[in-house]
Structure 1
Amino acid sequence: MHTISFRAETATVSISAPTKTVLDLVADPQQLPRWAPGVAKAVRPEGDEWVLVNGDTEFRITVRVSREHGTVDLLSAQDPRQGVFTRVLPNGEGSEYQFTMLFPADAPDTAVAEQMSTVREELRTVRKLCEEQAALG
């Protein structure tokens, strides 16, 4: 029998911008401070990893991108089973951005709800930045 170690929560946002525009933003770890400032105030590369800096806290991630499949995964460098798994899907001339986050199976509902509220705000920022970029042509 297989056991579930994590609880998955997914949020989605519709974006009036081409999938390439969305992928260009979310696949670039250096753009994280623009759309997820609670996660990273600064980002720097170190070898094949990225270091997210938020105050005195640093966290290492690996970024796995498949433009062919429209996926961008931001994974813990220490445990790549943990992280954020995202996908950009075409929707007419625009896009859908799906964002799935894994939480420990025993995470309190209130903590998950609070984090997903932050995620929804970040997705609204992704939409705003991508739609502004698309308007510039």
Structure 2
Amino acid sequence: MATDTRHLGVHIDRPVAQVYAFAADPANLPRWAPGLGGSVARVDGQWFVDTPEGRARLTFAPANEYGVLDHEVLTPAGETVYVPLRAIADGDATEVVFSLRRMPGMSDADFDRDTALVEGDLARLKAVLESAVG
């Protein structure tokens, strides 16, 4: 169970439908969240990512009109990590909010490291989407 949560966000100058469609597609993860893993594959209807620790399974929330991009990561060690992620309309733009949860026993240094990694991923998401035409 998480003991602390940091809500990390980024403002993207693109419509929420565009941001949601891109971020909801696990095949796009290597473009904006390379720390999770460099290779994503769909096998028998399930998504997998190759991480430094081994293959992890990704399960995303069903497609929805509310911008919910929550997903679960089943780690190679067998732990399930729930990741709350939202795309929220802000006029013609979008705010993306990632809720980073500190896991029990996680040190301050590790929590700060994970925070920096997520902030980097969100910055890449912004850069990729804002550099896209249209």
> TM-score with structure 1 length normalisation?
0.85
Q: Per-residue deviation at 1:20? A: 1.1
Return the letter of the residue paired with 1:49.
Answer: Q
Q: What's the counterpart of residue 54 of structure 1?
A: 51
Q: Per-residue deviation at 1:58? A: 1.0
Where in structure 1 do 4 or more consecutive aligned residues deviate above 3 Å?
77-80
- SS for the counterpart of 2:58 is strand
- SS for the counterpart of 1:23 is helix
Q: Percent identity?
A: 24
- SS for the counterpart of 1:72 is coil
Unaligned 5+ segments in structure 2 are none
Q: What's the counterpart of residue 40 of structure 2?
A: 43
Tell me the C-alpha RMSD between the 2 structures: 1.8
> TM-score with structure 2 length normalisation?
0.87
Residue 21 (str. 1) matches residue 18 (str. 2): yes
Return the letter of the residue paired with 1:119.
Answer: V
Separation in 2, partners of 1:33, 1:10: 22
Q: Per-residue deviation at 1:72? A: 0.6
- SS for the counterpart of 1:71 is coil
Unaligned 5+ segments in structure 1 are none
Give the length in aligned residue pairs.
130
Q: Per-residue deviation at 1:12? A: 0.4
Deviation string for 1:107-129 (max 9, x for gaps)? 11110100110100110110111
Q: Per-residue deviation at 1:103? A: 2.9
Residue 67 (str. 1) matches residue 59 (str. 2): no
Q: Retained in 2: the 8 A contact 1:9–1:100?
A: yes
Q: What's the counterpart of residue 32 of structure 1?
A: 29
